[in-house]
Structure 1
Amino acid sequence: MDSQWRKSTRSGGNGACVEVRRDGQAAEVRDSKDQLGPTLRFDAAAWSTFLSELKR
């Protein structure tokens, strides 16, 4: 897993952000304000589908 958490470049800096880290197998998503809190994990296919739908 890429240990680097990343925020969207479109993040407004208002604190209401999510962060993502991923590798070829999965993506994890967390609340940037609660970095020790729970994460959501998506397999690579589900993450790819999610990103494709966002772009539509």
Structure 2
Amino acid sequence: MREEERTMSAMDLKTARWRKSSRSSNVANCVELAHTGAVAAVRDSKNASGPALVLPSAALASLVATVR
């Protein structure tokens, strides 16, 4: 995988389509996810302008499968 396929720029994060779980209430007490191909980002919905954890999509899928 090329380096540019494994990264997400700050601009990508600003323009990304962030999603919350449909099981989440309207209160900002959850995480949001943005996905751009091979890379995913996770952020705290209470601090949308704060930092985001950016990782390969496969790593996020593995994390979610383990937590479930």
Superposition TM-score, scaled by structure 1 size: 0.78
Which residue is equivalent to 2:18? Answer: 5
> RMSD across aligned C-alpha pairs, in angstroms?
1.8
Higher normalized strand content (fraction of residues): 1
Corresponding residue SS for 2:62: helix
Supply the distance in 2 between the matched residues of 1:19 and 1:32 (Cα, whole angstroms). Answer: 6
Shift of 1:10: 0.7
User: Which residue of the other structure, out of 13, 36, 43, is the alignment partner of 1:23?
Assistant: 36
Bigger radius of gyration, 1 or 2? 2
Q: Percent sequence identity over matched residues?
A: 38
List alignment gaps of at least 5 residues for structure 2: 1-11
* 1:1-51 C-alpha deviation (Å, 9 max, x unpaired): 682100010102232111100122111011111111000011122111012
Corresponding residue SS for 1:6: coil
Question: Structure 1 runs of 4+ off > 6 angstroms?
Answer: none
User: Which residue of the other structure, out of 47, 53, 60, is the alignment partner of 1:34?
Assistant: 47
Aligned residue pair count: 55
Higher normalized helix content (fraction of residues): 2
